[in-house]
Amino acid sequence: MYRSHNCGELNASNINTEVTLAGWVQNSNDKGFINWVNLRDRYGITQLLFDKGRSNENVFEMAKTLGREFVIQVKGTVIEREAKNKNLPTGDIEILVTEMTILNAALTPPFTIEDKTDGGEDIRMKYRYLDIRRNPVKNSLLFRHKVAMEVRKYLSDLDFCEVETPYLIKSTPEGARDFVVPSRMNEGQFYALPQSPQTFKQLLMVGGMDKYFQIVKCFRDEDLRADRQPEFTQIDCEMAFVEQEDILNVFEGLTRHLLKEIKGIEVDKFPRITYDYAMKTYGNDKPDIRFGMEFGELNEFAQHKDFPVFNAAELVVGIAVPGAGNYTRKEIDGLIDWVKRPQVGASGMVYAKCNDDGTFKSSVDKFYDQDDLGQWAKITGAKPGDMIFVLSGPANKTRAQLSALRMELATRLGLRKPEEFAPLWVVDFPLLELDEESGRYHAMHHPFTSPKPEDMALLETEPGKVRANAYDMVLNGNEIGGGSIRIHDKATQQLMFKYLGFTEEEAKAQFGFLMDAFQFGAPPHGGLAFGLDRLVAILGGQETIRDFIAFPKNNSGRDVMIDAPAAIDDAQLKELHIKIDTI
């Protein structure tokens, strides 16, 4: 061992102890006759003292040659510091160095290894191994480990068994694109990397494992939007002989456990709202409920006058923004421009200021009197000093637009507090969603989700209205997990594939093994999967997942540090029976 202690553990109780430390030079403060060097490792920082009067001359001179990030080993005595640093666990002491070895020199790093670095995103990704030395990244990785350990402990204590499912599986053209792996031993054939272990965990239920979980990498070859990764980690779970209620209780328990153990926060029973309620009230199936601004539907009090825009709209809907009644004309115009951007897509926005004296001033005073506006205020819950913003148009689009505005305003008003946690369940998701392009229905969750028995009859007549036994857990405006009760009999599964447009042959070729399995005694079962990357980021009070992943890829799916993907040898291609198709 190159050290007797780490750089974070020495304090006044160690004074006069001889110690050996090893670590990185954080910085030096050379006053000529006296030279302080901060030595850093994962555990902390300890101040080293090189004193012309008290240190060996060679060591004293060598210390002057140390650059940032040099790796050194020192021996010395723990002494009391004159100028104590109360912000540092080791701030009462320093090490009077008697011996030193430079274990490895270092080039000057391309960015500073400080909590607030001068390095931009690209350079930090290229030198990710240096970025990891910085506390924000290092602590995020340690935090992730702690969360994963607590997840495993909690589930294992409940008799869940972690089972490793295979990574080399079969491609299915459903859902997102698969990453595939050419097989050398099976010419012309390919494995696929799993988008999730869905069918395997269901087979484990058929196999009687009863309670399964796995923290597992999954893969999706998608065009990467910001803050998505082609490989991501799921907490994947499945249980047999359960109903929806059982699953919600177990994973609500897990989340409550994490909030308590990791964040020291006690949370009440999670609210449960339906998908329909979420869409009507927040315009969104993953609402952030840390703040109000719930939607008020205004058709009744907006379509009785001569304002043609509202009269022509399917939906007129508003929100009350707390304390925004004093927004200037310029601020308001800025917001109107914001909702009219193509990313949001509103064609305009109406506003009504709620004056402190209980009167209103709106952009449509020509059409609406104070009574009308008073009704708007009542329905949106606006109080004196608030501002009501109203959008109108086709119901779904308008809700989405108002949801975007609601989130934007909450962010601007500082209502999305990272250390406040408001989890909830959204239940009763639709089974199917209409793909407007193809006019076909797709499974909203996946093809293995069971419809609610009481809605089965609607499958033939109004497929869009069939509700599923499907649920999402939402935390602070993010979907952190979702799941469903599965189909567990062959006939229903066949029917589902039929409604999803599979021919019988396609269904058999792709999922025959699962339907076969259902014939040999499949128990009722269901489960869910949490996105671990997102979960740890939110628990860590961050909006972006990148610092919680040791070696993330950029938006082109590249690892810029190792420079992957890359070309491979012709011999390798030949062995795999493939050629590059340059077109």
Specify binding-site residues for ATP.
Answer: 220-222, 229, 479, 531-534
Interactions with its own copies, residue window 463-482 (CB under 8 A): none
Per rule CB under 8 A, is residue 583 in the interface with its own copies? yes
Q: What is the rounded CA–CA span in Å between residue 121 and residue 140?
A: 16
Per rule CB under 8 A, is residue 191 in the interface with its own copies? yes
Considering only CA atoms, which of 292, 491, 302, 461 is closest in space to residue 391?
A: 302
Q: Which of 37, 45, 48, 193 binds its own copies (CB under 8 A)?
A: 193
Per rule CB under 8 A, is residue 551 in the interface with its own copies? yes
Chain CA centroid to CA 376, Å: 36
Per rule CB under 8 A, is residue 167 in the interface with its own copies? yes
Selected range binding its own copies among 90-98, 255-263, 458-466, 573-581, rule: CB under 8 A = 573-581
Q: Report residue 65 as tokens.
A: 């040659």
Per rule CB under 8 A, is residue 162 in the interface with its own copies? yes
Inter-axis angle of helices 198-206 and 504-518, to 10 degrees? 40
Residue number with CB closer to its own copies (127 or 277): 127
Is residue 60 helix, strand or coil?
A: helix
Q: Which of 28, 35, 165, 195 binds its own copies (CB under 8 A)?
A: 165
Q: What is the rounded CA–CA span in Å between residue 421 and residue 408?
A: 18
Considering only CA atoms, which of 548, 551, 545, 552 is closest in space to residue 144?
A: 548
Residue number with CB closer to its own copies (203 or 404): 203
Interactions with its own copies, residue window 27-66 (CB under 8 A): 40-43
Per rule CB under 8 A, is residue 2 in the interface with its own copies? yes
Which segments are annotated as binding site? 174, 220-222, 229, 445, 479, 486, 531-534
Q: Which of 78, 125, 192, 302 binds its own copies (CB under 8 A)?
A: 192
- Output phi, psi for 300, to 5 deg: -60, -35
Interactions with its own copies, residue window 376-405 (CB under 8 A): none
Interactions with its own copies, residue window 61-90 (CB under 8 A): 69-71, 73
The residue count of the chain comes to 583
Residue number with CB closer to its own copies (96 or 181): 181
Interactions with its own copies, residue window 500-529 (CB under 8 A): 513, 517-524
Q: Which residues pair with 78 in a beta bridge?
A: 95
Selected range binding its own copies among 30-38, 388-396, 446-454, 555-563, rule: CB under 8 A = 555-563
Per rule CB under 8 A, is residue 104 in the interface with its own copies? yes
Residue number with CB closer to its own copies (213 or 360): 213
Q: What is the rounded CA–CA span in Å between residue 101 and residue 120?
A: 33
Q: Which of 53, 65, 86, 107 binds its own copies (CB under 8 A)?
A: 107
Other C-beta atoms within 10 Å of 407: how many? 20
Residue number with CB closer to its own copies (413 or 576): 576
Q: What is the rounded CA–CA span in Å between residue 105 and residue 99?
A: 17
Shortest distance (Å) from residue 570 CB to its own copies: 10
> Per-residue contact track with its own copies, 136 to 155, x per CB under 8 A?
--x--xx-xx--xx--x---
**CB 310, CB 302: distance < 8 Å:** yes
Q: Euclidean distance between the first and final Cα of the chain, in Å?
A: 57
Cα 314 to Cα 298, 341, 391: the distances in Å are 11, 21, 11
Interactions with its own copies, residue window 194-253 (CB under 8 A): 199-200, 203-204, 206-210, 217, 219, 221, 223, 230-231, 233, 241-243, 246
Query: What are the contacts of 326-330 at 24+ separation with CB within 8 A?
Result: 326/385, 327/353, 327/387
Which segments are annotated as binding site for L-aspartate? 174, 220, 445, 486
Q: Is the peptide bond before 194 cis (omega within 30 degrees of 0)?
A: no
Q: What is the rounded CA–CA span in Å between residue 558 and residue 65?
A: 38
Per rule CB under 8 A, is residue 185 in the interface with its own copies? yes
**Count residues contacting its own copies (CB under 8 A)?**
125
Residue number with CB closer to its own copies (113 or 349): 113
Residue number with CB closer to its own copies (344 or 487): 487
Q: What is the rounded CA–CA span in Å between residue 514 and residue 490?
A: 8
Q: Which of 80, 337, 369, 575 binds its own copies (CB under 8 A)?
A: 575
Shortest distance (Å) from residue 106 CB to its own copies: 3
Residue number with CB closer to its own copies (39 or 350): 39
Classify residue 576 as exposed, middle or buried by CB count within 10 Å of its CB (0-12, 13-18, 19+). middle
Q: What is the rounded CA–CA span in Å between residue 68 and residue 70?
A: 6
- Output phi, psi for 186, to 5 deg: -125, 85
Q: What is the rounded CA–CA span in Å between residue 366 and residue 25?
A: 70
Per rule CB under 8 A, is residue 156 in the interface with its own copies? yes
Residue number with CB closer to its own copies (246 or 300): 246
Q: Report residue 131 as tokens.
A: 């970025």
Interactions with its own copies, residue window 288-307 (CB under 8 A): none
Selected range binding its own copies among 79-87, 131-139, 259-267, 392-400, rule: CB under 8 A = 131-139
Amino acid at 463: P
